[in-house]
Amino acid sequence: MRFVFIALALAFPAFAANKPNILWLTFEDSSPHLGCYGDPEAVTPNMDALAKEGLRYQRAWSNAPVCAPARTCIISGRWAPGNGAEHMRSEVPLAEGMNMFPELLREAGYYCTNNAKEDYNLTKSDNVWDESSGKAHWRNRKDGQPFFAVFNHEGTHESKIRAKPHTLIHDPAKVVVPRYMPDTPEVRHDWAQHFDNLTTVDAQIAAKIKEMRDAGLGDDTIIFCFSDHGTGMPRSKRWPYDSGLRVPFIVYFPEKWKHLAPKDYKADGVSERLISFIDLAPTVLSIAGIKPPEYLHGRAFAGAHPGEDRGMAFGFRGRMDERIDCTRSVTDGRFIYIRHFMPHLPEGQHVNYMFEQASTRVWFDLFKEGRLNEYQEAFWKPKHQEELYDLQKDPWETENLIFDQGQAYLVKKQVMEVALAQFMMETRDLGIVPEALRLQTANGTSPVATYSKDDALPYAEVLKNAMLASDRSQPDPSALEPMLRSPRPEVRYWGALGSVMRGENAIKANHELLAGLLKDKGSSVRIAAAEALAAYGSETEKAESWKVLLASANAANGSSIEAAEALNVIDRLGDAAKPYVAELAEMPTKAPESSPARIREYPVRLLQYLGEKLGFEAPKGEPKKGKGRKKGQ
Active site residues: 67
Three-class DSSP labels, 323-367: ECCCEEEEECCCEEEEEECCCCCECCCCCCCHHHCHHHHHHHHHH
Helices (H), 122-184: 158-161
Q: Do 60 and 410 contact (CB within 8 A), yes or no?
A: no
Q: Do 552 and 565 contact (CB within 8 A), yes or no?
A: yes
CA 161 to chain centre: 20
In this structure, the dihedral spanned by the alpha carbons of residues 60, 423, 349 and 565, taken in order and rounded to 10 degrees, is: -140
> For the chain, how many residues are written?
633
Distance, in Å, from the CA atom of 103 to the CA atom of 110, rounded to the nearest integer, reads: 9
Q: Do 67 and 633 contact (CB within 8 A), yes or no?
A: yes
What ranges make up the beta strands (E) of 154-303? Answer: 221-227, 246-252, 269-271, 275-276
User: What separation in angstroms does the CA of 537 have from each of 28, 94, 525, 567?
Assistant: 47, 42, 16, 19
Angle, vertex CA 9, rays to CA 6 and CA 13, nearest 5? 155
Distance, in Å, from the CA atom of 37 to the CA atom of 551, rounded to the nearest integer, reads: 52
Distance, in Å, from the CA atom of 506 to the CA atom of 45, rounded to the nearest integer, reads: 58
Distance, in Å, from the CA atom of 326 to the CA atom of 79, rounded to the nearest integer, reads: 15
The total of other beta-carbon atoms located within 10 Å of residue 199's CB is 17
User: What separation in angstroms does the CA of 359 have from each of 181, 184, 347, 366, 419?
Assistant: 9, 8, 15, 11, 35
The total of other beta-carbon atoms located within 10 Å of residue 26's CB is 20
523-536 vs 539-553: helix axis angle to the nearest 10?
140
618 DSSP assignment: P
Distance, in Å, from the CA atom of 611 to the CA atom of 585, rounded to the nearest integer, reads: 8
Q: Which of 452, 54, 427, 81 is nearest to 258 (CA)?
A: 54
* Dmax (CA) of the chain: 77
Sign of the torsion angle spanned by Cα atoms 460, 462, 468, 471: negative
Q: Do 490 and 432 contact (CB within 8 A), yes or no?
A: yes
Sign of the torsion angle spanned by Cα atoms 195, 197, 199, 205: negative
